[in-house]
Every structure is written in structure tokens, then in C-alpha cells.
Amino acid sequence: MIEAVGLSKYYGQFAAIDKVSFQVRRGEVVAFLGPNGAGKSTTMKLLTGYLAPSAGVAKIAGFDMSSQRLAGAARLGYLPENGPLYPDMTPRALLNFFADARGLAGERKRQRIADVIELCDLGGVIGKPIGKLSRGYRQRVGMAQVLLHEPDVLILDEPTAGLDPNQIHEVRETIRKLGQSKTILLSTHILQEVEAMAERILFINEGRLVYDGTIAALRADGRPLEEHFRRLTRAA
């Protein structure tokens, strides 16, 4: 459902990512880890078609995101870090706007808006300006609009960034629920969340993939995930 084949992105002589290849199969929840500046967000932007690769291919549900972006985007929900929201809009107005942009209409539009409001627990703030909401609620609004068109694939960049422990727990539970029916690639710096939500990890360091495997296999030696993070992402 998600495929990177030799993905590279160069800015002059600098390689933001270099020959990154991996697959995420249907129904998997995979964590994408690495230090700041390692290339996580760049890889995600390439996978979503937001950036064009210097080399390689990015596919969503079998669609090449360079040449078949609209078809791929119809199967994809992308939540970037600090995703853009319109602060003067209410969550309901924003969801109506994105539903129209996605071509939803009539009963399906009404039902999908009701479904994501319930899933993301927005009922108590649905009429308040987004700019007046807490960061946790703004993140929920972002998640709701990502889910409106019932995408098969979710790419989530730091979905718990800046949230308090209660908000992190709520987002984690939402992602775990979604993972029962969606394919999810998520980036995070909170290692406890990785073990709670994902079974498989991709580690990237200095633009290159340095580990692709299960958490169980990585921790078979009994060492904590934090120790493996430091080992795998130590500067070359």
C-alpha cells in the first residue's frame, strides 16, 4: 500500500534522503524513526506527492505519485506536522469545506462529517473557532479532515507533537483503532508510543534507511528501544 523504491532527494550537493526503499503492507502500522534532520519529513512528502523525487519512485496503493498523483491522493490521508488549519473557521465549517473539495455531497457528505466528528470526539468544540482550541483539539480537527474521504492509507508526521500526556493517550487510541482497518506510516519521537502503536520500525539516519524490521526482533537482546535508537542513529 506504501512503496518507496530508491527514493532520493537532492538539494545541490546535499542529499536530504539517498536511495531509500521500503514497503508497508495492507493493515500494517509502521513507525518511522530518526533524529531531527534525518530525512523523515522529506520522505513523507515524497510519498504523498508533495515533493518530486530527484530519483526513485513513490507509490500509494500502486499509484506512482509522480505521474498518478490524483489517483493516489484519493486513497491517501496525510497529516503533516503542524498541519495547516484555518483558525477563523469552526471545525464544522472546515470539514464542510474539505468535504466539498473532496467531491463529497448529499447524504454521504453528511454521514462522513458525522462519523469523523464522533471518531475524533469533536462534538464539544464543533462550533468554536479553531484558533481558540487547544493544540490537542486542533490535532483532532486535522485528523478528522484527513479521514473524511475514508482513505486506505494514512501518513502521519509527528501526530502527538506538543500534546500533553492525556492528549497523547487519546491520539494513540485513535491511531490504534484506525490501525484495525487502515495502513499507517507514522513518524514520532516518543519511543513509548512506538511500542504501544506499531509492530514494525523503519529507522532513518543521515538520509539513509538503517533498519527495517519488527520491534520484537530489535529488542530480542533485551536492550530498550532508546538504546537501539542511539546505536542506529549515531553520527557516521
End-to-end CA distance of the chain: 32
Mean pLDDT, rounded, of the chain: 92
pLDDT in tens, 170-188: 888 888 888 888 999 999 8
pTM given for the model: 0.92
The pLDDT, as a whole number, for residue 196 is 84
- Residue 18's pLDDT band, with cuts at 50, 70 and 90, is very high
Report d(CA 151, CA 154) in Å as an integer.
7
Residue 157 carries which side chain, given as an amino acid letter? D
* 211 or 134, greater pLDDT: 211
For 53, the grid coordinates are: 523525487
Is the pLDDT assigned to residue 20 strictly greater than 90? yes
Report d(CA 211, CA 92) in Å as an integer.
41
Which residue, among 124, 80, 77, 116, has the nearest Cα to 96 in the 3D structure? 116
Is the pLDDT assigned to residue 139 strictly greater than 90? no
Question: Distances in Å between the alpha carbon of 216 and those of 54, 59, 199, 224, 230?
Answer: 34, 27, 8, 11, 17
Residue 199, Cβ neighbours under 10 Å: how many?
14
Residue 232, Cβ neighbours under 10 Å: how many?
17
The pLDDT, as a whole number, for residue 235 is 60
